[in-house]
A and B are shown apart, each in its own frame.
Chain A
């Protein structure tokens, strides 16, 4: 079955960068897109961006444009999300989510990576 396993929790200082990984198994990695979604404490889910794992093109939410970079390593079936210039408001749970082959909904999710930004 499809499984997405994310890297562990991170604590960062304001101004730093964080890079979260998402390793996929149970399907052909390059056949699906991968999205990144975050959820700040008590807040709604927020879409950050997307990568076509096959050809590597990306699209980002304008809110994060310039601060977020999504990449992938096809040999490792792993997607990465790097967020720079961190501020306290970036403290959140970050999820990767696979785009369904049948549509653009998210049919499988990683377990989440908690990123805490604190001085």
Chain B
């Protein structure tokens, strides 16, 4: 099973600033990596797939990069609605696995 590790566990950032979230896979997942956002009491929401492709309707301030084992989600200018928990997921190998999440909180 591929283990996905996210860092940091919690990230405190002020509105308007940039946030950079990291995700590492225990073995290569090529570009078969997705990012999801989850707010309290809600289901996850797809943000990025194929490591760098934005989901339909996602603002351009969200961007994804990386391949193989190292991936990054960047939010260029944080808005109030962006404070949430973010998960990465690999879908290159069964079983599909998720990271433990990064909580993005207001500084």
**A residues near B, CB below 8 A?**
35, 44-47, 59, 61-63, 95, 97, 100, 102-112
- State whether B43 touches A112 (Cβ < 8 A): yes
Interface residues of chain B, those whose CB is within 8 Å of chain A, are 32, 34, 36, 43-46, 49-50, 55, 87, 89, 91, 94-101
B34 in contact with A44 (CB, 8 Å): no
- Name the distance in Å between B75's Cβ and chain A's nearest Cβ: 19
Instruction: Tell me, rounded to whole Å, the shortest Cβ–Cβ distance linking B2 to chain A.
Output: 11
In contact, B91 and A103 (Cβ under 8 angstroms)? yes
CA of A96 to CA of B100, assembled, Å: 19
Contacts of A62 in B (CB 8 A): 95
- Flag if B98 contacts A47 (CB, 8 Å): yes
CB distance from B65 to the nearest CB of A (A): 16
- Nearest Cβ on chain B to A110's Cβ, whole angstroms: 7
Residues of A within 8 A of B34 (CB): 105-106
